Amino acid sequence: MAITRFAPSPTGRLHVGNVRTALINWVVARQSGGTFILRLDDTDAERSTDAFAQGIREDMAWLGLAWDKEARQSERFDRYDEARWKLVEQGRLYPCYETPQELETQRSLQRARGMPPVYDRSARSLTPAERTALENDGRRPHWRFLLGNDPVGFEDLIRGPVAFEPGHVSDPVLVREDGVPTYTLASVVDDMDMGVTHVIRGEDHVSNTAVQIELIAALGGAPITFGHHPLLTAAEGEGLSKRTGGGAVADLREEGIEPMALVSYLARLGTSLPIEPFYDLEDVVEAFDFATISRNPPRYDPADVSTLNQKWLHGAPYEVIADALGSLDSAFWDLVRGNVKHAREAHDWWRICNEFITPVLDDAAFAEAAADVLPPEPWDETTWKAWTQAVKEETGRKGKELFMPLRLALTGLDHGPELAGLLPYMGMERVKARLAGQEA
Ligand code: GLU
């Protein structure tokens, strides 16, 4: 049974790129009847806010991606501290006193000599007396994890075998000068404590993975399976950023995108399978397969989301959309669903049938002739045909000449659902008034 987690920092709004990560993790947990954890990476007290955390929960709930447990890193500092001292005892975590400027100078020199800009570990040769002197000088240490000398390899669920040679990355800082653990330490401790079995995240984290694997081993944790998916790029070819807000879930919701339409889009974007509407999350779970995920960065295009949303609505059975329709019944939904881009437009059509509109009339005589041959009520879906047949006989008009003036008079618009379906909802009195050019 897989235990997965989605670990956003509550420093911005959820965007489509995050949701793809969340969705894959959610699916992997569900496929095995496992556990899906929502972990808020909020160690950065300055940038993390409760409002962003709440926004993330709301977006996840709206998408239907229910989580079994929630954790906040800001409540777990004790655990990070324990891990820290354990590593110190093992001699794997060592204090360093270089300032950012000193480190930058060191890197420039290394680059100038054609060497990789890897931290030279000089702090490890400081004597206790030198350390005391630095501290008396007011310097506070940051702490680095001593990486091993062996290559680290792992089998990525998406990228296949990945190998890291030693000596190419600096010993990572696990505890900052102010005592706050970095993401690397906090994340590994959480993954271990929570029994996480699969870490699936964006490709931007692949370079952290070798370090995390070493850290898990040093802390005695069970091995984790990793998967890194390519990041979405925006239609303009730029990366999506939660700070600039591109593709924010809340904006898409506001726009009228259906949650399942967005889930459907993200379930298939960047895979070898066609994008198609899903109406049940269970089907998304069943259809998901790592083997279909492409190695190329998929292009996120809001226009594609809109197109799929429309397609999704056209095919949406009443049951899956009933909440958004409120008092509208299933017959009415079936009538209008082929003509809406957003579910709320169903209400617009309801109002067109039941509330005032301004009819568009360019031939009053024709409209009057049509009104004269309206069949008596009660009306049903056969009324339209009987009526237009009578109008045709009366006026000699046919085709568009016949239908368009009636549509414009009855709805005020030149497009829309079948009038045969709308007519009974309007009723004789209203139809007569509209044909007479009255607002009705
Ligand atoms: N908070 C990290 C991020 O949003 C989590 C990365 C991870 O999944 O390990 O990038």
User: Which pLDDT score, from 0 to 100, does residue 237 have?
Assistant: 57
Sign of CA dihedral 426, 430, 435, 440: negative
The alpha carbon of residue 287 and the mean position of all alpha carbons in its chain are separated, in whole angstroms, by 18
Q: Which atom of ligand 1 is nearest to the CA of 204?
A: 10
User: Which pLDDT score, from 0 to 100, does residue 241 have?
Assistant: 62
- In this structure, are residues 187 and 219 in contact, taking their beta carbons and an 8 Å threshold? no
In the listed set 121, 150, 175, which residue is the last one of a domain according to the structure?
175
- In this structure, are residues 411 and 404 in contact, taking their beta carbons and an 8 Å threshold? no
For residues 130 and 218, membership in a common domain is answered with: no
Q: Look at the block and give the residue holding tokens 């794997």.
A: 92
**Rg, Å, the chain Cα set:** 31
Task: Give, for all 440 residues of the chain, the pLDDT tens digit.
Answer: 999 999 999 999 999 999 999 999 999 999 999 999 999 999 999 999 999 999 999 999 999 999 999 999 999 999 999 999 999 999 999 999 999 999 999 999 999 999 999 999 999 999 999 999 999 999 999 999 999 999 999 999 999 999 999 999 999 999 999 999 999 999 999 999 999 999 999 999 999 999 999 999 999 999 999 999 999 998 765 666 654 557 899 999 999 999 999 999 999 999 999 999 999 999 999 999 999 999 999 999 999 999 999 999 999 999 999 999 999 999 999 999 999 999 999 999 999 999 999 999 989 999 999 999 999 999 999 999 999 999 999 999 999 999 999 999 999 999 999 999 999 999 999 999 999 999 99
Tell me, yes or no, whether 230 lies in a domain. Answer: yes
User: Which pLDDT score, from 0 to 100, does residue 244 have?
Assistant: 53
- Model-level pTM greater than 0.75? yes
Tell me, yes or no, whether 290 lies in a domain. Answer: yes
For residues 299 and 204, membership in a common domain is answered with: yes
For residues 311 and 216, membership in a common domain is answered with: yes
Question: In terms of Cα–Cα distance, which of 311, 236, 249 is closest to 21?
Answer: 249
Residue 360 backbone zone (phi > 0: left; psi -120 to 50: alpha; other: beta): beta
- Pocket probe for ligand 1: among 201, 211, 213, the residue whose CB has the most ligand atoms within 8 Å is 201
- Pocket probe for ligand 1: among 42, 203, 205, the residue whose CB has the most ligand atoms within 8 Å is 205
- With 0-12 / 13-18 / 19 or more C-beta atoms within 10 angstroms meaning exposed / middle / buried, residue 321 is buried
Tell me, yes or no, whether 340 lies in a domain. Answer: no
For residues 365 and 430, membership in a common domain is answered with: yes
Tell me, yes or no, whether 63 lies in a domain. Answer: yes
Q: What is the domain extent for residue 8?
A: 1-70+184-315
Query: Could you tell me the CA-to-CA distances from 8 to 70, 73, 174 in Å, in that order?
Result: 12, 11, 19
- In this structure, are residues 16 and 299 in contact, taking their beta carbons and an 8 Å threshold? no
User: Which pLDDT score, from 0 to 100, does residue 236 have?
Assistant: 65
How many Å lie between the centroid of ligand 1 and the Cα of residue 413? 50
For residues 194 and 277, membership in a common domain is answered with: yes
Separation of alpha carbons 297 and 304, rounded Å: 16
The amino acid occupying position 335 is L
Find the angle CA(247)-CA(42)-CA(15) to the nearest 5 degrees. Answer: 5
Q: Which atom of ligand 1 is nearest to the CA of 208?
A: 9
How many Å lie between the centroid of ligand 1 and the Cα of residue 305? 25
Tell me, yes or no, whether 327 lies in a domain. Answer: no
Residues in the ligand 1 pocket, defined by CB under 6 Å: 7-9, 41, 187, 199, 201, 205
Q: What is the CATH number of the domain that holds 198?
A: 3.40.50.620
Query: Could you tell me the CA-to-CA distances from 162 to 3, 213, 227, 274 in Å, in that order?
Result: 22, 12, 10, 28
- With 0-12 / 13-18 / 19 or more C-beta atoms within 10 angstroms meaning exposed / middle / buried, residue 64 is middle
User: Which pLDDT score, from 0 to 100, does residue 311 have?
Assistant: 98
Separation of alpha carbons 323 and 234, rounded Å: 32
Give per-residue burial for 292-304: e unless 16+ CB within 10 Å, then b.
ebeeeebebbbee
For residues 198 and 243, membership in a common domain is answered with: yes
Tell me, yes or no, whether 331 lies in a domain. Answer: no
User: Which pLDDT score, from 0 to 100, does residue 246 have?
Assistant: 72
Tell me, yes or no, whether 389 lies in a domain. Answer: yes
- Pocket probe for ligand 1: among 72, 187, 194, the residue whose CB has the most ligand atoms within 8 Å is 187
For residues 190 and 168, membership in a common domain is answered with: no
The DSSP string of 15-30 is BHHHHHHHHHHHHHHH
For residues 90 and 166, membership in a common domain is answered with: yes
The token duo for 149 is 């000398």
For the chain, how many structural domains are there in total? 3
For residues 195 and 53, membership in a common domain is answered with: yes
Q: What is the CATH number of the domain that holds 364?
A: 1.10.10.350
Separation of alpha carbons 25 and 36, rounded Å: 7
Separation of alpha carbons 23 and 269, rounded Å: 12
